[in-house]
Amino acid sequence: MNFNIPKNCIIGICDAAPLEEERQRLLAIPTPFVTQDIEKRINPAKSLPGAKSVIVLGKAYEPSPTSNLSSLAYGIDYHLTIRKMLETLAGQLNCNTYIMVDNGPLAERAFAVKAGLGFWGKNGMVISPKLGSYFNIGLLVVDTVLPYSNPLDEKCPDNCRLCIDACPNNAIGRPMDCASYHTQKKSAPSLKQMAGQLYGCDICQACCPFNPKAETLDYIDPQTILDMTEDIYTHTAMGWRGLTHLKRNASIILDKKGE
């Protein structure tokens, strides 16, 4: 089935059978900000009764131009843009649908791999031969059978440790230790947990050989954040936390709390 999508997007389709191979991985590696109900994470039928297929859309984003503020801070919130694209796709199908863009239970990355968008990186990101890991994911679950894509027969080089060695928190395989999680959680983190990041963390992506390299990276002075009177990031994917949250993180860095 052909869908008209922009050049900066990739798309694949897989069956909606439960991801049984993901069950043990999800049980072993708790993921923040999502339900811990494994059945809801692996089984599309829990979100759409009678689910038969999952259309997976990936939309590229530009890597962050800064070293201490992630790509989430730049561009229009992908939740809105990808949802609009999936709604357009859904309108082309005569069936029941369920759309999820980081706002539901399904394990998006696992379905992206199953649908052939990319392969698992050692850092837990999905790596596309076309886009690297710099893309966001949306799911369109439908209750009709569609032509399925093939998973990619690729993987990270066995001898590559770049993301593992670069992670400041030694958090590869442990999302709850990731600096990105600590900058987003409600409870105040320590400076060590944040690894000096204002919000999010792109370090494991920036060093990946499948991704383009930025020639230079700017550093945002945390004082600049504290001096802000208007939330210029409200339209971005980090807007859900708001300026008060970002200022909290900036204050922790400046005060060197929990070194």
Could you tell me how far CA 178 lies from the centroid of its own chain?
Answer: 13
What percentage of the chain exceeds 70 in pLDDT? Answer: 98
Name the band, by pLDDT with cuts 50, 70 and 90, for residue 258.
Answer: low
Residue 60 is given by DSSP the state: E
Report whether 108 contacts 102 (CB < 8 A). yes
Residue range 64-73: mean pLDDT, rounded: 94
Sign of CA dihedral 98, 121, 18, 147: positive
Which of the residues 15, 37, 77, 102 is marked catalytic?
102
Residue 180 has pLDDT above 80, yes or no: yes
Q: Return the ∠ at Cα 31 (arms to 26 and 34), rounded to 5°.
A: 105
3: left (phi over 0), alpha (psi -120 to 50) or beta: beta
pLDDT at residue 213, as a whole number: 83
Q: Return the ∠ at Cα 122 (arms to 117 and 127), rounded to 5°.
A: 20
Digit-coded pLDDT (tens) for 164-177: 999 999 999 999 99
Report whether 135 contacts 109 (CB < 8 A). no
pLDDT at residue 257, as a whole number: 62
Digit-coded pLDDT (tens) for 83-115: 999 999 999 999 999 999 999 999 999 999 999
Residue 259 has pLDDT above 70, yes or no: no
158 catalytic residue (yes or no): no
Diameter over CA atoms, the chain = 57
pLDDT at residue 104, as a whole number: 92
Phi, psi of 41 (to 5 degrees): -80, -30
Q: Quickly count helices (H) and strands (E) in the chain.
A: 10, 6
pLDDT at residue 28, as a whole number: 75
Which region among 67-71, 212-216, 233-237 has the lowest average model confidence (pLDDT)?
212-216
pLDDT at residue 137, as a whole number: 98
pLDDT at residue 243, as a whole number: 96
Residue ranges covered by each domain of the chain: 9-142, 162-255
Residue range 49-76: mean pLDDT, rounded: 96
Residue range 148-168: mean pLDDT, rounded: 96
